[in-house]
Amino acid sequence: MIYFARLVLFVALASALGAATPPIEKLLPADTVGFLAAPNWEAVGAAFHQSALGQLWAEPAMRPVREKFLARFRSEFVGPLDKELGLNVTNYCRLFQGPVIFASTPAASGGESGFLFVADTGTNSSQLATNLADLRRKWTDKGKQSKTVKIRDLDFATLVFDPAEVNRIFDRVLPNPDVAKSAPAAAGEKKTAPKEWTFGQSGPLFLLSDSPKDLEKLLVIQSGGALPALADESSFAADAPQFRDAQVFAWLNVKSVMDRLNKFAATNGPAAAEDEAPAISPAAALNALGFGNVRSLALTVNQSGSGTALALRARLPESGRRGLFKVFTLDLKDSSPPPFVPADAVKFSRFRADLPKTWANIETTMAELSPPAASFLKFLFSMVGKDRDPNFDLRESFIAKLTDDLVSYEKFTRANPPKGAESPPTLLLVGARNADQAVIALKALTSLVPPQIIKYREREFLGRTIYTVNWPSGQGAGGEPTTTTLHAAGSGSYVALSSDVSLVEEFLRSSDGTARALRDKPGLAEAAQKAGGMNTGFFSTDNHAESARALFEAARKDSFNAASLLNRSVIASRLGMGREGGVLSWFDFSALPPFERVAKYFHFDVSALSANADGFTYKYFAPAPPQAGK
């Protein structure tokens, strides 16, 4: 199923980006674990072209980058896949007209989860039949194994293949971090068991699965049989209203996944040596983090002329919250940018929660995840400041004085354009009842580090004290030792922390009220309403126009630097970014146009997190750039 999920990703890339069918929830079996669906494939393609990203991709100035990428996509992926399997994904994507669904189905006893892929070809059903017949012919001509199976009086074909053959294609495109899994089998080593995929056609529907039984369930439901559909399941019915009018939506039955993991852990728990601490299973870790009581996740995505909207809902009753869901307990308070946050901040977030309780919930979660680590943290806290005052208590002197406000923002300063795209300076503001006393208490943390390693100093600035700490942090690219610097100061109701002293100084000067404020940014308040407002307890915004400018210029000058920046995300790493080969090598960053040529496609986004008795909802909205399309 893993490599099929990878194929789904490239189906989207190869598309236009390139009897009546029942609603999706009345077509899938009741035991479906989760699915990703587009009710109207052609509408999704149109929406993408309308989006700022779609317009950027079609921009004439991007033509050199676009053409080189598509050429490599065809030669590195589409061509080898067609040669090895006789499967040209673009030929199939062009046929899709109605719903397209990728669903995960329950695993057989002791096996992996299965999958169902369903695509409505509408008036292209006759061409679909031609393509499927051609696929079978190519498969047979290559001497590969196949067989015909009968499902509900329809002829389906089952292709038998070595998964290593498919993996070799995908691993060139999406390099596997686990090299051992993709390495050739050693002599005498047991080969991977053959895989079987069954495909066929029912009216306008193209059907593909690794389980004929799952195909049979779908056909029974399609024909009006008595088998229950997903729409009949209460676990899905609670989320179904959210999916009305969504262009793309996804759903996951988290409870069924956790039940399976817990059952597996109960019979196959991780073993530990006698002299080792008991190992924790993935199921136990997820339960400790609070996922054991989550009922479902529901995602919707919509693109319109006003912008792109996304909503993710976790259904979790208030009584069952623990772990991360206790940590992120929100207070329904103002989470808008305070007046001192400058207009040129490129990223901003504000979290309103009782910080002492939040810390207590973190400690509780840590104790359940790793009692030794939690005990060690408790020991460290008990030692802080004792070298100067035996009665000092960090919890009472610092944590207990925290309030319900956590503010963070990033900005590019004169000292770091555009090279600073790799690590733009961040200012963290921690709410405290007496900021001056709290920052002095925080200073006691330096007692945990030997004085010969840490360097500490303080200086006065506008009547306030800025505390600076330096400590070794490793080696740079040339082998030179590197240091980490942290500056701290207290002012008003916040303790300010940053690696960039200019941000701390700017915050201390903010009381003069002369700087332009982020909260007055044109369109920010209106966009925030699309994401749920600024009074839910969490709000954030990101100015893509500024961050993209720095990234564009850095990428045009140094493609390797661009790879390094992009490789910081887990998804980018899986795409082979920052390595030899992989998707990143398909992009010629040196061919990017000057940012001014494409600046009109970049704007800003907003997001908010809210909670009620039924669960959590995260909403994201990116307003359409005013100049895009002009």
Average pLDDT over residues 185-209: 80
Q: Is the pLDDT higher at 172 or at 56?
A: 56
Tokens of residue 131, six digits: 């393509």
Residue 352 contacts residue 538 (beta carbons within 8 Å) = yes
Task: Check pLDDT > 70 for residue 478.
Answer: no
**pLDDT number for residue 269:** 59
Task: Check pLDDT > 70 for residue 326.
Answer: yes
Tell me the pLDDT tens digit for each residue of 70-122.
998 888 888 887 777 777 788 888 899 989 999 999 876 556 788 999 999 99
Q: Is the pLDDT higher at 124 or at 368?
A: 124
- Give 445's Cβ-side CA count (13 Å radius): 17
Residues 6+ apart with CB under 8 A from 365: 288, 289, 290, 322, 323, 324, 326, 327
Q: Looking at the domain assignment, is residue 371 inside a domain?
A: yes
Give the separation between CA 567 and CA 555, rounded to whole angstroms. 13
* Shared-domain flag, residues 259 and 123: yes
| 558 confidence band (pLDDT: 50, 70, 90) | low
Tell me the pLDDT tens digit for each residue of 372-418.
888 988 888 888 888 778 888 888 888 999 999 999 999 875 444 44
Tell me the pLDDT tens digit for each residue of 332-346.
899 999 999 999 999
Tokens of residue 417, six digits: 């354009």
Q: Is the pLDDT higher at 452 or at 91?
A: 91
**Which residues constitute the domain of residue 26?**
2-182+196-264
Q: Is the pLDDT higher at 276 or at 149?
A: 149
**pLDDT number for residue 22:** 62
* Shared-domain flag, residues 56 and 41: yes
Tokens of residue 227, six digits: 């088998």
DSSP sequence for 282-348: HHHHHHHTTGGG--EEEEEEEEETTEEEEEEEEE--GGG--THHHHTPPP-S--SPPTTSBTT-SEE
* Shared-domain flag, residues 510 and 579: no
Tell me the pLDDT tens digit for each residue of 290-310.
888 999 999 999 999 999 999
Count of domains for the chain: 3
* Shared-domain flag, residues 322 and 405: no
Average pLDDT over residues 9-18: 40
**pLDDT number for residue 464:** 92
Residues 6+ apart with CB under 8 A from 619: 309, 310, 311, 312, 530, 531, 532, 607, 608, 609, 610
**pLDDT number for residue 301:** 95
Of the listed ranges 127-141, 250-264, 567-581, the one predicted with least confidence: 567-581
Q: Looking at the domain assignment, is residue 292 inside a domain?
A: no
Average pLDDT over residues 266-287: 66
**pLDDT number for residue 570:** 39
Task: Check pLDDT > 70 for residue 562.
Answer: no
Residues in the chain: 630
Task: Check pLDDT > 80 for residue 262.
Answer: yes
* Shared-domain flag, residues 63 and 106: yes
**pLDDT number for residue 368:** 86
Task: Check pLDDT > 50 for residue 591.
Answer: yes
455 beta partners: 470
**Residue that terminates a domain, selected from 460, 494, 514:** 514
| 602 confidence band (pLDDT: 50, 70, 90) | very high
Task: Check pLDDT > 60 for residue 15.
Answer: no
Helical segments of 329-424, H only: 355-369, 371-383, 394-397
| Ramachandran bin of 615, using left for φ above 0, alpha for ψ from -120 to 50, beta for the remaining angles | left
* Shared-domain flag, residues 59 and 172: yes
Tell me the pLDDT tens digit for each residue of 504-547.
999 999 876 667 899 999 999 999 999 999 999 999 999 988 87
| Three-state secondary structure of 176-203 | CCCHHHHCCCCCCCCCCCCEEEEEEEEC
| 244 confidence band (pLDDT: 50, 70, 90) | confident
**pLDDT number for residue 513:** 64
Q: Is the pLDDT higher at 541 or at 166?
A: 541
Of the candidates 225, 227, 2, the residue with the CA atom closest to the CA atom of residue 115: 2
* Shared-domain flag, residues 246 and 138: yes
Average pLDDT over residues 309-325: 91
**pLDDT number for residue 172:** 63
- Could you tell me where the beta strands, DSSP code E, fall in 502-614? 538-543, 604-612
Q: Is the pLDDT higher at 142 or at 512?
A: 142
* Shared-domain flag, residues 174 and 47: yes
The structure's pTM equals 0.86
Q: Is the pLDDT higher at 571 or at 372?
A: 372
Q: Looking at the domain assignment, is residue 32 inside a domain?
A: yes
Q: Is the pLDDT higher at 589 or at 61?
A: 61
Share of the chain above pLDDT 70, in %: 82
| Three-state secondary structure of 530-556 | HCCCCCCCEEEEEEHHHHHHHHHHHHH
* Shared-domain flag, residues 493 and 522: no
**Residue that terminates a domain, selected from 212, 239, 264:** 264
> If you average pLDDT over every residue of the chain, what do you get?
83
* Shared-domain flag, residues 61 and 131: yes
Q: Report helix, strand or coil for 150.
A: strand
Task: Check pLDDT > 70 for residue 462.
Answer: yes
Of the listed ranges 91-105, 227-241, 438-452, 565-579, the one predicted with least confidence: 565-579
**pLDDT number for residue 561:** 54
* Shared-domain flag, residues 540 and 509: no
Q: Is the pLDDT higher at 264 or at 629?
A: 264
Task: Check pLDDT > 80 for residue 476.
Answer: no
Q: Looking at the domain assignment, is residue 128 inside a domain?
A: yes
Q: Looking at the domain assignment, is residue 191 inside a domain?
A: no
DSSP sequence for 241-275: GGGTT-SEEEEE-HHHHHHHHHHHHHHSPPP--TT
* Shared-domain flag, residues 524 and 621: yes
Tokens of residue 223, six digits: 């024909």
Q: What is the dihedral of CA 504, 510, 514, 516, to 10 degrees?
A: 70
Q: Is the pLDDT higher at 495 or at 245?
A: 495
**Residue that terminates a domain, selected from 464, 480, 514:** 514
Average pLDDT over residues 481-487: 85
Q: How far is residue 242 from each of residues 233, 236, 249, measured CA to CA in Å?
A: 16, 11, 9
Q: Looking at the domain assignment, is residue 617 inside a domain?
A: yes
Q: Looking at the domain assignment, is residue 293 inside a domain?
A: no
Task: Check pLDDT > 50 for residue 599.
Answer: yes
**pLDDT number for residue 520:** 94
Q: Looking at the domain assignment, is residue 573 inside a domain?
A: yes
